[in-house]
Each structure stands twice: as C-alpha cells, then as structure tokens.
Amino acid sequence: MLSAFLRFAQLVDYHVDSRSFNSSFPAVRQNMSQTQMAIEESVARPLTSFSEDEQMFRESVREFAEGEIRKRVEEMDEQAHLDEAVTKQCFELGLMGIETPEEFGGAGGTFFQAILAVEELSRVDASVGVLVDVQNTLVNNALIRWGSPDQKKKYLAQLASEKIGAYALSEAASGSDAFAMQTRAVESGDHFVINGRKLWITNGKEAEIFVLFANANPEAGYRGITAFIVEKSFEGFTVGKKENKLGIRASSTTELILEDCKVPKENVLGEVGKGYKTSIETLNEGRIGIGAQMIGIARGALECALRYTAERQQFGKSINQFQGLQFQLAEMATDLEAARLMVYNAARMKDAGQNFVKEAAMAKLYSSRAAERIASKAIEMYGGYGYVKDYPVEKYWRDSKIGAIYEGTSNMQLQTIAKLIIGK
C-alpha cells in the first residue's frame, strides 16, 4: 500500500560513504547529533538520486498512476471530468496531505515528496497531477504556515481525508497584477461580507474549501488584501461557469461568485491586511509544483517518443537509427534533465529553509518551456499519428501549454528573476 510509504521519517539515510570523514574528524563526528550527521552526509548526494524512503514513495505513486489512472486518461480528457474513483484513491493513499502533520491526519512528509508525487502523476495525466499539486503546495501549505491552531485542526484534517481545496486569487482584471483585485470584504459584526468574482480557479468544481483573497481596506491598496477560508456551503457563495479548455481538461477550472457571502471572522487566514504576503509566498512554493507538473509531462512525452521511434520502421530500419532523429532525442533528453535539476534543486532548497524565490521562478520558466518543446517534438516524431487523439503525444502538448500561464506567466517569472539578479 502506498499509504505505508507516506509516513516518512524526517531523517533519511543518504547512503554516503563516511569513512574519510570519520578518520579526519573523529572528535567532531563523535559529538554530532543524528540531524547534523544527516545534513553533512547529504552534501555529497546528487539531486537526481533518492533516499530509500523517497525511492519507495516514488515507485508507489508510479504504480498507482500506471495501474489506476492511465486506463482512465482518455475518457477523463474527453469528458473533461475527473473520475471520482481516482480522487477517492488519492485521499485513501495519503496524496492529498503529503506535508500535513500526522496529528491532522496527514503523512507528515516533505515538500520534495509532494514534488515527486506531482511529477509521477503528471507523467501519466497532468490533470491528476495538478489536483494533487494545488491541494498540497497551495492550499495545505497556506494553512500549515498561516492557519491558527483551530483552523489547522478543523481544515487540515478535512483536506487530508475527504475534501478538495482550491486557491482563489485571480480575477478578470487581476491576473499578473494580483493587487488589482476588486473582490471586497466588509466587516460586519462577527463576520465579513464578501462580494466579487474569481476566475480561473483550479479544482473549482470539486473543491469544498477555498483559500480566497479579498480586499478588506481598498484605501490601503494591497495592504488591505486579506486571505479567508471559505467553505462551499457558506451563504452567498456559488461556483459559476466551468471553462472548456485546451489542456488539462479533466481538471476543472471555474468562476466563483460571491454575493454578500458571509465568512466568520475566525476564518481569516493569518492577519487582516496581510493577505498579499500569504499569496506571494504561497505562489513561490506553488511554482515549484508547476515545475514538477511540467517535467512529468515532458517525461511522458519523451518516453512515448523513445518507444515509438524504436518501433517505427522506415527504409528497412527503426527510425531511431537515423542520426538526425537521434540528435533530436538527445536534445529532448538534455532539456528534460536540465529542467529536472532546476525543479529538484528549488524543492530541496525549500525543504532546507533556504531562500528559493529565484530558483522557483527559474524552474517554472524553464520547465514549462522544456515541456512544450519536448511534447511538440514528440508529435513530429509520430508524424501524422502524432496529430490525432488515438495516440498520446498530442495530449502531452495540450497539457504543457498551461505551464507558461498559470501561477505566474513566463513574463512574470522573467521579471522576478531580473529584479533579483540586478538587485532591484
């Protein structure tokens, strides 16, 4: 069972030969705690190698994706709907609360483990990958970091066991300019009254718990933006239009409508007026999740291309024996490996408590471009077959396109990177 591998110890054996360290610094080594030893040993560990626990976890997620998701991918894409059996299994296997502490029913794992899960799921179906991604890297993370003890006890437990979450920031006039939001929250007794509309909300149809942003003090500009925990059942809250999309079709993307929606004051997430900090910092983590989704898509497309080019015969031999095609496959594999290293590095930095903002922006920017390039090239290698829905590569390309758009467009990532490297 996958759930058996989701309760991870915080210290792992990195399988590094420590004999030279022991002989050089015996006194220091003797006094080091287990935590210090693990940190010291991790220095020599390649980014693309895994601890035993991480490897078992990765293999278990892959087994689930291959055994339960792959057979449903085509139908879910055509119907633009996630199979409820898949979402139920995601909960049963602990994938909806990977970082959530065990006291709240979660797996108590690491951010990197969540990234591995998103990658493996997206290799088969990016729609399931983004379901798990949003739940973990945005919704759960926001509650873990800014939730009160009562909020954590109430909502994290539900999100780990049965309820899907969504992250509601974007609006018609507030996309890249997140601080231009028009949704308003007015204090009224023991609650806030929220009015406005949100657009492009992933998981919007299935979600029952929303981390939603509204401005409680428009005169203060972005300093009035406040995060709220909104339940689908709250008075005045409605899920609106479901978008008919190019890619990740099984993942719902909806409009949210708030008309005098009453939200109890105890559902303010963090502090009133500090929602801008919550949104920015949560999205920084979310971008690594999107990077994982993109490398999963790229891996799936490349694996399809490798299989097909080995099987397809032209002029008496497999087409992967032609040098021109070999060079293209090599470029695709190199692109994927570079993206993987960037995503893994950003995730490891996050777990290590280091500043990862630049690395997250770079990882999302590069991986989204790499996924689109690799999937597009895979279509060409399939020839006419690549252009029809009977074969899988056209879906990988459709799914890859969103990577340059959501959780910060590519231009916004470039702006973030530029500001950080020039110091402004």
Across 82-97, average pLDDT = 98
Across 333-348, average pLDDT = 98
Q: Do 112 and 54 contact (CB within 8 A), yes or no?
A: yes
User: The tokens of 164 are what?
Assistant: 């899907």
Write down the pLDDT at residue 176: 83
Write down the pLDDT at residue 225: 97
Smallest CA-to-CA distance from 98 within 266, 292, 296, 252 is with 292
Write down the pLDDT at residue 374: 98
Tell me the C-alpha distance between 311 and 336, whole Å: 22
pLDDT at 30 exceeding the cut of 80: no
Greatest Cα-to-Cα distance within the chain, rounded to the nearest angstrom: 79
- The helix/strand/coil state of 152 is helix
pLDDT at 341 exceeding the cut of 80: yes
pLDDT at 197 exceeding the cut of 80: yes
Tell me the C-alpha distance between 64 and 120, whole Å: 9
- DSSP E strand boundaries for 83-171: 165-168
- The helix/strand/coil state of 16 is coil
pLDDT at 23 exceeding the cut of 60: no
- Phi, psi of 377, rounded to the nearest 5 degrees: -65, -35
Tell me the C-alpha distance between 284 and 281, whole Å: 5
| DSSP class per residue in 85-104 | HHHHHHHHTTTT-SSS-GGG
- In sequence order, the 6+-apart residues with CB closer than 8 A to the CB of 259 are 195, 236, 238
Q: Tens digits of per-residue pLDDT, 342-384? A: 999 999 999 999 999 999 999 999 999 999 999 999 999 999 9
Mark whether 407 is an active-site residue: yes
Tell me the C-alpha distance between 304 and 143, whole Å: 38
Write down the pLDDT at residue 160: 98
pLDDT at 247 exceeding the cut of 90: yes
Q: Tens digits of per-residue pLDDT, 268-282? A: 999 999 999 999 999
Which residue type does 23 have? S
- Phi, psi of 414, rounded to the nearest 5 degrees: -60, -40
Q: Do 339 and 367 contact (CB within 8 A), yes or no?
A: yes
Tell me the C-alpha distance between 368 and 298, whole Å: 9
- The helix/strand/coil state of 10 is coil
What is the rounded end-to-end Cα distance, in angstroms, of the chain?
49
Among 54, 99, 359, 407, the active-site one is 407
Q: How far is CA 330 from CA 6, 86, 327, 344, 354, in A?
A: 35, 34, 5, 21, 33
